[in-house]
Amino acid sequence: MALDGIVLSNIVYELDTLLTNGRIDKIYQIEKEDILLSVRNNSTSYKLLLTANSNYPRLHLSTLAKNPSLEPPMFCMMLRKHLNGGKILKIEQPHFERIVKIHVEATNELGDKEVKCLIIEIMGRHSNIMLVKQDDMLLDSIKHISADKSSVRLVLPNQPYHFPPQQGKLNPLDTAKNCFIEIIRSKNMPLFKCIYLSFSGLSPLIANEMCLNAKVDAELLGTTADEATLLALYEAFNRVLSRVKSNDFSPALYLNTEEAPIDFYSMQLNLYDLYTLKHFSSVSALVESYYYEKSNRFNIAQKTTDIKKLLHTFIDRAVRKKHIQEKALEDSQNKDLYKIYGELLTAYSHQVPSKAQSFTTTNYYLEPYDEITIPLDEKRSAIQNAQYYFKLYSKTKRTEVAAAQQLLQIEEDIKYLESVLLSLDLLETKDDIAELRAELVAMGYLKKRKGVSKKRTSKKTLPYLHFKSSSGYDIYVGKNNYQNDELTMKFAKATDLWLHIKDGPGSHVIVKLEHNAEVDDQTLEQAASLAAFYSSGRLSSHVPIDYTLRKNVKKIPNAKPGMVIYNHFKTIHVTPVENEIKKLTV
């Protein structure tokens, strides 16, 4: 985890500088495990995000977190009761651990001032947010840990608060040279492990960085290290901790050749010399830049797990039905043979012996008039066997027609369900999730939730994804099938350009054009890249994208949302690149 004690120390220094003596205006619980504090200090408003999300736990100032207008959960109500209007006295990091205590002075119900601590523990799946009274008694926590979940520490209301077990680790800020050398020398493990397993708040990343800066082998065992090696390692260790003590931080993000983030830290690292370095003016901006999109995706995925599971179930069921209908079509290929059997038995009934199990004659219905053997039911006469085959012919013919119709419907269902499954990757907000659920309810795939009212969406803001090409053209992308229909059939003009992946599920893409205007090659390629990125071809290369004027796109009568037909189109092949896509975002 990049967010270790050193990065957290950088965050705490920033928060203490900006928020101490500030007043808490508002408190929101924007997700199940996310708390957002609105703090006003020195005529400036700040948003402080604390999240105990097991995958991306953190705290930092935020500019992207939004306040939902939902009914606040009990934990949020409790925080409002005790902290609203409170003054932040100080923010500290005890024992250099991944723990932050925010001391808040607020007025209680009797009008007396009390100091309480809002504590966040950033420890992976054990992360938590707690409110503690001055006597160290827990008021409540965002996650309750009872005795059946942990035998080490209870985290419940009216229980005493204890710091998590330190596992014998020392505070690196208070470690002298002799102590450091003695500890490293006593451990029979690689040097980098000796560092992060012996001192709190240090990650494997910074431990390897210290070994690199000391020019020592990180895999060398502590028990075999000589005095010179240990001294060099301590000097590298001390240089890093000296910067922490003096608050000498330089937040840095490291990018690969495709400009995708690899890692971040509060100092420039020699370990990442081969990567592109991007500096940030504040550690909060750095952490938010690195985590926000990942965390948002994780939250969306959690809320749509039931939808994804349901879609896979419907798709699997539809595929099984498809195989059954395909088998029925395959079996119906014999229908003409049944008719021939009936015709021949009717024509030569007088030649068929009684109680015969088969009858061989010349097949005059198919050249070159070979002999044909007809299976018979010995309990039936020749005419009865003929009637049986005529009935079998009629039944098989009806089955063929029905199976063909069913197959078309099933293939349309599969195509629709795959498009919905794809649209899960495009969801960004709770409104997007609600809109997709409403679509599935309308199509009969989901039952309407009780107590869910139909929310009116604002007409002032467009729901579509909005991009702008390098040439200045507006490009819009639908996020679900309802939006695809709305975007193509209502929002777009007849002269706008329409794009879609060829023979696959994907979003509709519209390039807004002035009357009789022609799109330039660069805009066409960028719009095609968007159509490829927001489709089943996202991870492919040379994705075929069809494009035509909107007037050539027609809605299929009685078809599911998003299903259209089009003509007079051309095809362009593109390879979508995520970083290039992001540059087009408005």
- Per-position DSSP letters for 28-52, written without gaps between them: EEEETTEEEEEEEETTEEEEEEEE-
Looking at the structure, tell me whether residues 359 and 237 fall in a common domain. Answer: no
| Residue 164 DSSP label | P
In a domain, 210, yes or no: yes
Looking at the structure, tell me whether residues 13 and 137 fall in a common domain. Answer: yes
User: The domain spanning residue 82 has which CATH number?
Assistant: 2.30.310.10
Residues ≥6 apart with Cβ < 8 Å to 391: none
pLDDT for the residue 364: 86
Tell the residue number behind the tokens 């690689």, with chain if given.
190
In a domain, 293, yes or no: yes
In a domain, 404, yes or no: yes
In a domain, 30, yes or no: yes
Out of 357-371, 460-474, 518-532, 539-553, least confident range: 460-474
> pLDDT digit string (tens) for 384-426?
999 999 999 999 999 999 999 999 999 999 999 999 999 888 8
> pLDDT digit string (tens) for 38-81?
999 999 999 999 999 988 999 999 998 887 767 899 999 999 99
pLDDT for the residue 460: 45
Looking at the structure, tell me whether residues 16 and 130 fall in a common domain. Answer: yes
In a domain, 332, yes or no: yes
Quote the number of domains for the chain. 4
Higher per-residue confidence, 231 vs 579: 231
Tell the residue number behind the tokens 């749509």, with chain if given.
304
Residues ≥6 apart with Cβ < 8 Å to 146: 154, 156
> pLDDT digit string (tens) for 448-471?
766 555 544 444 456 899 999 999
> pLDDT digit string (tens) for 242-272?
999 999 999 999 998 878 889 999 999 999 9
Under 8 Å between Cβ of 438 and 322: no
Higher per-residue confidence, 342 vs 2: 342
330's tokens: 């395959």
Under 8 Å between Cβ of 515 and 549: no
In a domain, 192, yes or no: yes
Burial of 175 (0-12, 13-18, 19+ CB in 10 A): middle
> pLDDT digit string (tens) for 143-172?
999 988 887 889 999 999 999 887 789 999
pLDDT for the residue 452: 53
Residues ≥6 apart with Cβ < 8 Å to 50: 34, 35, 36, 37, 59, 118, 120, 129
pLDDT for the residue 292: 87
pLDDT for the residue 453: 52
In a domain, 436, yes or no: no
Looking at the structure, tell me whether residues 114 and 236 fall in a common domain. Answer: no
Measured distance CA(478)–CA(559) in Å, rounded? 18
Residues ≥6 apart with Cβ < 8 Å to 428: 296, 300, 479
Burial of 478 (0-12, 13-18, 19+ CB in 10 A): buried
Nearest of 412, 541, 419 to residue 483 by alpha carbon: 419
Looking at the structure, tell me whether residues 290 and 340 fall in a common domain. Answer: no
pLDDT for the residue 111: 85
In a domain, 454, yes or no: no
- Is the pTM above the cut of 0.85? no
Out of 128-132, 217-221, 349-353, least confident range: 349-353
> pLDDT digit string (tens) for 119-148?
999 998 899 999 999 999 999 999 999 988
Radius of gyration of the chain, Cα coordinates, nearest whole angstrom: 35
Looking at the structure, tell me whether residues 290 and 322 fall in a common domain. Answer: no
Looking at the structure, tell me whether residues 206 and 278 fall in a common domain. Answer: yes
Identity at 381, one-letter amino acid code: S
Looking at the structure, tell me whether residues 32 and 100 fall in a common domain. Answer: yes
Return the exposure string of 153-168: e unless at least 16 CB atoms fall within 10 Å of the residue's CB, then b: bbbeeebebeebeeee
312's tokens: 């896979």
Helices (H), 186-304: 191-198, 204-214, 227-245, 283-303
Looking at the structure, tell me whether residues 134 and 16 fall in a common domain. Answer: yes
User: The domain spanning residue 190 has which CATH number?
Assistant: 1.10.8
Measured distance CA(402)–CA(452) in Å, rounded? 39
Q: How confident is the model at residue 295 (pLDDT cuts 50, 70, 90)?
A: confident
Looking at the structure, tell me whether residues 325 and 284 fall in a common domain. Answer: no
Measured distance CA(200)–CA(148) in Å, rounded? 28
> pLDDT digit string (tens) for 423-452?
888 887 778 888 899 889 989 898 876 655
> pLDDT digit string (tens) for 169-193?
999 999 999 999 999 999 999 999 9
Looking at the structure, tell me whether residues 130 and 249 fall in a common domain. Answer: no
- The residue segments making up the domain with residue 75 are 5-141
pLDDT for the residue 229: 96
pLDDT for the residue 23: 97
Among 421, 452, 473, identify where a domain stops: 421
pLDDT for the residue 458: 44
- On average, the pLDDT of the chain sits at 92
Looking at the structure, tell me whether residues 403 and 485 fall in a common domain. Answer: no
Out of 266-280, 422-436, 532-546, least confident range: 422-436
Among 421, 456, 475, identify where a domain stops: 421
Among 298, 333, 351, identify where a domain stops: 298
Start-to-end Cα distance in the chain: 32
Q: How confident is the model at residue 540 (pLDDT cuts 50, 70, 90)?
A: very high
Phi/psi at 318 (5° precision)? -65, -35
